[in-house]
Amino acid sequence: MTSIKSMLQKGLTFSLLLGFTRVAFAAAMDVRPGVTEMSREIQDLHHLSLSIVVVIGILVFGIMFYSIYAHRRSKNPKPADFHESTAVEIVWTLIPVLILISLAVPATRTLIEIEDNSDPDLSILITGSQWKWHYQYLDSNIGFYSNLTTAQAERDNLEPKGINYLLEVDNVLVLPTNRKVRFLTTSDDVIHSWWIPDFAVKQDAIPGFINEAWTRVNETGLFRGQCTEFCGKDHAFMPIVVEVQAEADFDQWLEDQRLAIELASGQAVADRAKTWAMAELMEIGEGVYVDHCATCHELDGAGQGSTYPALAGGEIPNGPMEAHMDRVLNGAADTEMQAWAPQLSDLEIASVITYERNSFGNETADLVQPITIFEAR
């Protein structure tokens, strides 16, 4: 009997050591800690739950294995002769209740904090589109699209992939440190999901609905995420990049953006006043097409079935100019063609329409000026 007790003690000691070693190993191999208090609270809650589950598993399996060994057939055990024990029933009822309370209290507190979107210092509307993000700073007249910038050659395995493959964009979302930022998420087309793991923020962007989330980041840096809701053929090409700046730097960034908007407005006026040559429009249009249109319509304009119609010899680029402008500006209902009026400048739209009507074997010799696009909006 003494040897059995000794073996049991050694077995339980080994199991406990193994269990806590596994918890420590899991913590060491876990995702890196977040950069917000909320993300660290969530991770601590996960570690607490894991520790409790491991201890319960060790105790339950330890008792089970001891019972199997101590009462094996070769020992000719005599079963205990009793029917119930009120004390035991109370104990095995109270212990799970206490365990659940120990988990429920911090979990409820954290959940309440997650849902507390009140009194933000900054509000940003995030709109998902196939396949890009639009950010609108609601407290300022500042908004822009954020597009993937990973080279097509990398995506086609023609060049080595960079360290931030499929996680690089042209315009990053800029946030300040030490301020509560509220995110309002929605979508223009299908369901997307905006996710930044370092913030522990993941919120669905649903057409016709606005969901809320918030964060307060205490350190500067560059943080990356992705769309985590399958949203079509280029779902993997919707990265999220957030740059967190010190408060003074963020305020200066806001001022720089306001100045850039004023300069862009002045440039747009100058673009509309100029009469552009075909060669100029074709050069600009090719760049716009590669950046924004080739994903669906292919680089050679061959398209992808009826969902993304071919532009080479297509009805729209070879038909009336007014119909072509309307399709690019306003999109087409019940199709994958989105409206580009809010996304591109008059010059960019004029250029890409000119390019489409005079490329891929299309020879309309038509060109459209930025002033015409401005008047058609």
Percent of the chain at pLDDT > 70 equals: 92
Domain span(s) for CATH 2.60.40.420 in the chain: 122-246
Rounded average pLDDT over 340-353: 92
CA–CA distances in Å: residue 48 to residues 24, 41, 107, 150, 265:
12, 10, 10, 40, 54
Q: Is the pLDDT of residue 274 over 70?
A: yes
pLDDT digits (tens, 9 = 90+) for 29-62: 566 788 999 999 999 998 889 888 998 999 999 9
pLDDT digits (tens, 9 = 90+) for 236-260: 999 999 999 999 999 999 999 998 8
Q: Can you tell me which residue has the tokens 């988990």?
A: 103
- Output the pLDDT for position 27: 53
Q: Phi then psi for 358, rounded to 5 degrees?
A: -135, 25
321-330 and 346-357 helices cross at what angle (nearest 10)? Answer: 130
User: Strand, helix or coil at 205?
Assistant: strand
**Under 8 Å CB-to-CB from 214, ≥6 apart: which residues?**
116, 117, 120, 180, 181, 182, 183, 201
Q: Is the pLDDT of residue 341 over 80?
A: yes
Higher pLDDT, 19 or 154: 154
Question: Which pair of structure tokens corresponds to residue 298?
Answer: 């292919």
The answer to whether 185 and 211 are in contact (CB under 8 A) is yes
Q: Is the pLDDT of residue 1 over 50?
A: no
- Output the pLDDT for position 29: 58
Average predicted confidence (pLDDT) for the chain: 88
Rounded average pLDDT over 8-21: 53
What is the topology classification, in CATH, of domain 274-376?
Answer: Cytochrome Bc1 Complex; Chain D, domain 2 (1.10.760)
Q: Is the pLDDT of residue 336 over 90?
A: no
- Output the pLDDT for position 117: 92
**Under 8 Å CB-to-CB from 316, ≥6 apart: which residues?**
309, 323, 324, 327
Domain 122-246: top CATH class: mainly beta
Q: Which helix (H) or strand (E) holds 223?
A: strand 221-227
The answer to whether 171 and 162 are in contact (CB under 8 A) is no
Q: What share of the chain is helix, strand, coil (3-state, %, to 5)?
A: 45, 20, 35
Rounded average pLDDT over 82-95: 85
How many C-beta atoms lie closer than 10 Å to residue 46's C-beta?
14
- Output the pLDDT for position 23: 52
CA distance 270 to 298: 32
Q: Would you say the C-alpha torsion 216, 217, 222, 224 has a positive or negative sign?
A: negative
CA–CA distances in Å: residue 189 to residues 209, 335, 339:
11, 10, 11
- Output the pLDDT for position 301: 92
How many C-beta atoms lie closer than 10 Å to residue 209's C-beta?
11
Q: Per-residue confidence at 3, pLDDT binned at 50, 70, 90?
A: low
Q: Per-residue confidence at 5, pLDDT binned at 50, 70, 90?
A: low
pLDDT digits (tens, 9 = 90+) for 206-232: 999 999 999 999 999 999 999 999 988
Q: Can you tell me which residue has the tokens 């669906």?
A: 296
Rounded average pLDDT over 162-179: 95
Cross-strand pairs, 205: 192
Q: Is the pLDDT of residue 357 over 90?
A: yes
Domain span(s) for CATH 1.10.760.10 in the chain: 274-376
Q: Is the pLDDT of residue 28 over 60?
A: no
Q: Is the pLDDT of residue 79 over 80?
A: no
Range scoring the smallest mean pLDDT among 23-37, 57-71, 193-207, 270-284? 23-37
CA distance 44 to 22: 16
- Output the pLDDT for position 369: 94
Higher pLDDT, 196 or 13: 196
CA–CA distances in Å: residue 314 to residues 111, 304, 348:
53, 12, 21
- Output the pLDDT for position 19: 52
In whole angstroms, how large is the CA radius of gyration of the chain? 30
